[in-house]
């Protein structure tokens, strides 16, 4: 299974690169779900896991005794195992700093393999954005009752990549989904923008759900926690009824299928 490096007789490896999370249950539902979908779709390829967050890797090793490779270790290991064909499937949502750092590293190692290709992030192009929007709309259709603001919460990143969140928010408006909006924890649109939008729409309830692959620390603490500065607490103080859905995008079958498509594109 993913991360199992005992199948050294294989010469094709698919490296699934995620930021990672120390929340074991969320990790296996979301990242594990993507990896299992890839394993089912590409049975001739060994699926191997790597995390880009050193902090997450160290915490998992300390708390679970489980060692997960960082990308460079995984790439070196692939070469040492005699892998000839290497496909990388990043699960990052945006073409942001973490994704670009991995692409640069992958490009350094690519010449050492007979075939090497790296896939796009979840929002790889406009078509992918439309697909994600439709998946979210389908998943949340029952919540869209006219009195509820459905808020997709992203992490937020540097300006260029963060524009994708803003474009995604606009697409909801352009497709007539007026009670859907996007917010980010560390950038713009912010919690203040979310409050203004909810008030403008005259709703009484706000549903918060992650625009992230995994529902990790941000969802459980920064967004839905009991701290006075959490998004949930701030919205409650504004008089809204608040519901938090701690389900990462990676848990959705249709999102898993989109990552499979990303992998198929680079193998075509």
Tell me the per-residue pLDDT of 12-50, one tens digit each, with 9 for 90 and over: 999 999 999 999 999 999 999 999 999 999 999 999 999
Task: Reduce the DSSP state of residue 230 to 3 states and report it.
Answer: coil
- Whole-model pTM: value is 0.92
As a whole number of angstroms, the distance between CA 183 and CA 181 comes to 7
Q: Residue 2: its pLDDT value, please?
A: 45
As a whole number of angstroms, the distance between CA 122 and CA 13 comes to 20
As a whole number of angstroms, the distance between CA 209 and CA 247 comes to 7
Tell me the per-residue pLDDT of 46-103, one tens digit each, with 9 for 90 and over: 999 999 999 999 999 999 999 999 999 999 999 999 999 999 999 999 998 899 999 9
For residue 66, how many C-alpha atoms fall within 13 Å in the half-sphere facing its CB? Answer: 16
**Burial class, 8, CB count within 10 angstroms (exposed 0-12 / middle 13-18 / buried 19+):** exposed
Segment holding 244, helix H or strand E: strand 241-244
């Amino acid at each position: 299974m993913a991360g199992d490096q005992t199948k050294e007789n294989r010469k094709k490896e698919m490296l699934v690169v995620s930021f990672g999370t120390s929340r074991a249950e969320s990790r296996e539902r979301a990242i594990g779900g993507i990896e299992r979908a890839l394993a089912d779709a590409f049975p001739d390829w060994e699926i191997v896991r790597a995390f880009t967050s050193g902090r997450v890797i160290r915490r998992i090793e300390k708390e679970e005794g489980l060692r997960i490779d960082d990308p460079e270790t995984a790439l070196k290991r692939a070469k040492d195992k005699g892998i000839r064909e290497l496909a990388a499937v990043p699960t990052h949502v945006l073409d942001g700093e973490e994704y670009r750092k991995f692409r640069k590293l992958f490009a350094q190692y690519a010449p050492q393999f007979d075939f090497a290709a790296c896939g796009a992030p979840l929002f790889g192009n406009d078509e992918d954005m439309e697909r994600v929007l439709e998946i979210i709309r389908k998943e949340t259709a029952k919540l869209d009752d006219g009195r509820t603001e459905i808020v997709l919460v992203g992490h937020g990143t540097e300006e260029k990549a963060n524009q994708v969140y803003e474009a995604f928010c606009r697409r909801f408006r352009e497709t007539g989904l007026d009670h859907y909006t996007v917010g980010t924890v560390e950038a713009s649109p912010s919690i203040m923008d979310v409050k203004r939008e909810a008030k403008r729409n005259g709703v009484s309830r706000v549903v918060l759900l992650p625009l992230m692959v995994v529902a990790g620390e941000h969802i459980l603490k920064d967004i839905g926690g009991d701290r006075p500065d959490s998004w949930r607490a701030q919205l409650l103080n504004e008089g809204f009824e608040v519901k938090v859905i701690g389900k990462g995008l990676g848990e959705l079958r249709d999102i898993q299928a989109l990552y499979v498509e990303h992998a198929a594109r680079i193998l075509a």
